[in-house]
Amino acid sequence: MTATLGQDVTALLAANLQLTRGGFTLDVQLTLAPGEVLALLGPNGSGKSTVLDLLAGLATPDTGTVTLDGATLTAPGRLVAPENRAIGLLGQEPLLFPHLSARANVAFALRVGEAQLNAASARVQADRWLDRVGLAGLGNSLPGALSGGQQQRVALARALAAGPRVLLLDEPMAALDAETAPFIRQLIREQLAETGTSAIIVTHDIVDAVVLAHRVAVLHHGALIDEGTTAAVLAAPQNPFVAALAGVNLVVGTAQNGAVVAPDGRTFWVRPADAAALSPATPAREAPGSGAPGSGAPASAAPAPVAAVFRPASVVVHTEQPRHASPRNVWSARVRSIEPGSGGVRLRTSGDPEVIAELTPAAVADLGLQVGSTVWLSVKATDVSAYRR
């Protein structure tokens, strides 16, 4: 086989997949570097889950190849069975084996997976895994007795305990309520980093990409239409889906005193609930070498990479510096462009990164805004959410 010729030799996983089913055609090329987390963004029906099934060996492409670390998993006339691929899968639903306790679910993965442990050691290790995902003491519980979030924690522990070379995540937060999802997202981020597991996460939630992924690929009608860092892809949307996703302002910067500092030095204060998560002294778990530098010494801490997210509609535009402004985030910028948007008129304003404000056409006329105008922008801290990356 010459399948690896011409491909990135540093790639851990390389896939080139074609599939036609009815009127749907999928044609995707993607690679994954060791330790990398790739977000596969796309609307429903774009073929995201199909890509994961093809990578996991749960479906066969019409043509194409999948190689992992140089070994061919899928090729014409060759399909390595899912159990021999070392590619794990964590879906929307936890799918814990209902007849097995939380501990036995994780122990199952330790026995049949990479570790091949005996029953006794598997039980011991399973308890350690449950501890890692914050479920110490719940080992004896049957899945039915656990909440949705707890079940997904067990499922994450089980998926990682199998020791996959690549973990595929299929909208793992989609079935969780809004209160639980951020915790599971953060936990996945931590555990992927701690275990150094390479992963592909399928999602249509931009926050998943912001928090979890190093790189983003956008899938639309079965083809990859855009690829790059999250910020780069959002800054220049290539299709309506990405534009809709990009309907948020994303500031990737560093954490300082519970705020996010943009590359150009602007400081974005965030809502109190998220500010706590930004302070470097509060990683959910002490993790040596997990990429949470300076967690022991806040004073001399290197700033941790964080992201602030807020909606364009939350940005208020003024023509003069607001005097008695209650919002803590106020800055001046120049109007770079004025475009029609989904909810009114979108103003792109200068800075690194650019910030988009959305307002009514009447307001634009009222304020006499033109391209090149200097404006004051403000956004309430309570409208800004923040995530550690």
Interface positions with other proteins (CB under 8 A): 56, 58, 81-89, 91, 93, 95, 97-100, 108-109, 112-114, 158-159, 162, 164
Distance of closest approach, residue 126 Cβ to other proteins, in angstroms: 13
| Min separation Cβ 94 and other proteins, Å | 9
Phi/psi for 319 (5° steps) reads -90, -20
C-beta of residue 203 within 8 angstroms of C-beta of residue 51: no
Residue 23 C-beta: closest distance to other proteins, Å: 22
Judged by beta carbon, residue 52 or residue 210, the one nearer other proteins is: 52
Displacement of CA 143 from its chain's centroid (Å): 26
Q: Residue 152 or residue 329: which is nearer to other proteins going by CB?
A: 152
Cα 90 to Cα 152: distance, rounded to the nearest angstrom: 9
Q: Which residues contact 365 (CB under 8 A, 6 or more apart)?
A: none
Q: Which CB sits closer to other proteins, 200 or 242?
A: 200
Min dist. Cβ of residue 112 to other proteins (A) = 4
Instruction: Compute the least distance from the CB of residue 360 to other proteins, in Å.
Output: 48
CB of 11 to other proteins, least distance (A): 21
303 cis-preceded (ω within 30 degrees of 0) = no
Q: Is the CB of 13 or the CB of 233 nearer to other proteins?
A: 13
Nearer to other proteins, 158 or 266 (CB): 158
* 123-155 residues labelled b (16+ CB within 10 A) or e (exposed): bebbbebbebbebeebbebebeebeebbbbbbb
State both tokens at 53.
């099934």
Of 19 and 252, nearer to other proteins (C-beta) is: 19
**Least CB distance from residue 171 to other proteins, whole Å?**
15
Q: Do residues 368 and 359 lie in contact, with contact meaning Cβ atoms separated by under 8 Å?
A: no
- Based on CB atoms, which residue is closest to other proteins, 71 or 276? 71
SS3 for 219-259 is EECCEEEEEECHHHHHHCCCCHHHHHHCCCEEEEEEEECCE
**Distance spanning both ends of the chain, measured CA to CA:** 39
Question: Helix, strand, or coil here: 263?
Answer: coil
Region label for 45, one of left (φ > 0), alpha (ψ between -120 and 50) or beta (otherwise)? left
